[in-house]
Chains A and B, each alone.
Chain A
Amino acid sequence: MTDDFVKEEKKEYTTLNLGPTHPATHGIFQNILTMDGEIIVDAVPTIGYIHRAFEKLAERRPYNQITPITDRLNYCSSPINNMGWHMTVEKLIGCEIPKRAEYMRVIIMELSRIADHIVCDTVIAVDTGALTGFLYFFQMRELIYEIFEAICGSRLTTNIGRIGGMEREFPQEAWLKLDKFMIEFPKFHAEFGALVNRNRIFMDRTINCGPISADRALAYSFSGPNLRASGVDYDVRVAKPYSSYQDFDFNIPIGKAGDVYDRYMVRFDEMMESYKIIRQAIDKMPTGNFHADLPEFYLPPKEDVYNKMEALIYHFKIVMGETDVPKGEVYHSVEAGNGELGYYLISDGGRNPFRLHFRRPCFIFYQAYTEMIKGRMLSDAILTLSSLNVIAGELDA
């Protein structure tokens, strides 16, 4: 019997279907793996399971109704997507946003970046077997969602802000919760770090797992924490500051090897940098209006709608989506949780975009996944996927 096995020279590979719905892939990804024992020989990813045709939908929607679509791209940090879209339209119509609105946006964006990184980092820990940190650190994410709830009324798909600024001032409750967050977050962050960062099992499991070199990462147009983990310090917030990011003092953490541990550490350090930005934004919060004087896009106060003719007209036009914008082609990108989220908008001067293309970071760097897991173990593939933080909503748009 054993002799027969030895003589058998022709190798037979196993085909393994990982996904589309598999608890370890955190989303709807299918990978058809060719396995040699537990080693992955080849992988064919299939995407598009939750494709919702956002680019087509956007061509029939007025500008303010596209914001809820962007919520559903990277749903772990929807406020950044919303703000990115608002800023794209603001660039097109050429309006100046008051400093106060920009600072408010920065606070919200950095909070959602922290929330996004909490999800990714804790899930990396869960995939290596450390559930405690996940349960513990998610309390901070919950607090961030409570702040969002106080600001805009919803938690996950926020539709936060408006074209031209914010929809209202932060309520008192939001400021109180933000203060609570500012006091508690460093403690939680440090404690989670103490639990996981130098943990022997975690380090053995993640170091040199799913690495990608800087050259390859650039060839695959990586962006965000995944690119920085490979050692390239490209951050849209610094390369092309938007929303007053030039006013703040922060570092860009970078890694070296581009493996799971580096990606984890970059995100872990970035959370503290985001916290520093929020601190500065709160301290330097300018006074002034929280939205630009932009009556064609910004809903007037309800009282005026009942009593003033102009306000009623604008209200009607905005709600019915009959606001025209100038012609032009504009590209604007923001540093989202996963990298450079870009909006390429062609306007023909009508009430809705002529063409809207989303530059989704997940869609672009998920291509490299096959290369990153080839010749590695199946369990490393799971870990690599969660460390890339591929979000199905953004991948499939």
Chain B
Amino acid sequence: MTDQTILGEQLKSKFGDAFISETRDFDFSVYEFNKDDIKEVITYLKNKEGFIYLTTLCGAHFPDNDPSREFSMMYQLHNLVTNARIRLKAFMPKDDMNMKTIVDIFDAANWMEREAFDFYGFNFEGHPKMERILNMEEMNYHPLRKEYPLEDMGRDDKDDKFFGR
């Protein structure tokens, strides 16, 4: 726990303006950064702080947020020696979903970034193959965005007056 607080201070002093906030969610320290600087942060964490393992990365869509923070990208890194785990976050507006790829830092990010592109439409600059991965290539929308409801709410064969669905 103390180590993570020190790490937060370090990141704050090193990345100054790019560092936006630090919170703690359950057992994770969460650091929010400016989206354009997050690649530098990850490079620094990998080379200097020993976070050599990329656990996962994924996007999320918050349509009710402020338009400048509508989409979020999350990275989880793991330091296998000290067994510390951290989460990095970046928020961005809908019309600027360009991120720098981290495939050159972690090979594992390749398909994960493609998945984020497939489902949310993030564009990773410098990615070797920015194509859909799980959905078919002809698909022209990004299905995990919140504007695509899973089930047609207008179906009247499922109308349920009593339970309010």
Contact = CB atoms under 8 A, between A and B. Distances in A.
- On whether the two chains bind one another, the answer is yes
Interface in A43-99: 47-48, 51, 53, 55-57, 59-60, 91-92
B26 A328 contact: yes
B56 A218 contact: no
Contacts of B106: 219, 221
A70 B19 CA distance: 36
B53 interface: yes
A346 B146 CA distance: 14
A396 B108 contact: no
A101 B108 CA distance: 36
A173 to B, nearest CB: 38
Interface stretch (A175-183, A260-268, A360-368): A360-368
A221 B135 CA distance: 23
Interface in A12-68: 47-48, 51, 53, 55-57, 59-60
A397 B135 CA distance: 11
Interface in B94-138: 106-108, 110-112, 115, 119, 133-136
A218 B51 CA distance: 11
B55 A340 contact: yes
Contacts of A368: 107
Contact of B56 (A57, A220, A330, A342): A342
B108 A220 contact: yes
Contacts of B108: 219-221, 364, 367
Nearest to B52: A218
Contact of A48 (B27, B60, B133): B133
Contact of A55 (B83, B112, B144): B144
Nearest to B30: A329
Given A329-B25, A364-B112, A355 B60 contact: yes
A194 B37 CA distance: 56
A364 B112 CA distance: 7
B53 A218 contact: yes
Given A219-B108, A344-B56, A320 B76 contact: no
Interface stretch (A201-209, A232-240, A305-313): A232-240
Given A220-B107, A331-B87, A344 B26 contact: no
Given A55-B119, A221-B53, A221-B55, A91 B26 contact: yes
Interface size class of A (residues with CB under 8 A): 35 or more
Contacts of A367: 107-108, 110-111
Given A218-B53, A221-B54, A367-B110, A51 B83 contact: no
Contacts of B144: 55-56
B150 A346 contact: no
B80 interface: yes
B9 interface: no
A51 B134 contact: yes
A330 B24 CA distance: 10
A57 B163 CA distance: 21
Nearest to A91: B26
21 contacts: A47-B133, A48-B133, A51-B135, A56-B144, A59-B150, A221-B54, A234-B53, A239-B80, A239-B83, A240-B83, A329-B28, A330-B25, A331-B28, A331-B76, A346-B60, A355-B60, A357-B60, A363-B111, A364-B56, A364-B112, A367-B110
Interface of B: 25-28, 30, 52-56, 58, 60-61, 74, 76, 80, 83, 87, 106-108, 110-112, 115, 119, 133-136, 143-144, 150-151, 163
Interface of A: 47-48, 51, 53, 55-57, 59-60, 91-92, 216, 218-221, 232, 234, 239-240, 320, 328-331, 333, 340, 342, 344, 346, 354-355, 357, 359, 363-364, 366-368, 396-397
By Cβ-Cβ distance, the 10 closest A-B pairs, closest first, are: A221-B108, A48-B134, A359-B56, A357-B58, A51-B134, A60-B150, A219-B107, A329-B25, A355-B60, A220-B108
Given A53-B143, A56-B144, A57-B150, 19 more contacts: A47-B134, A48-B134, A92-B26, A216-B107, A220-B107, A221-B108, A234-B53, A234-B80, A239-B83, A320-B163, A329-B26, A330-B26, A333-B55, A344-B56, A344-B58, A344-B74, A354-B60, A364-B56, A397-B134
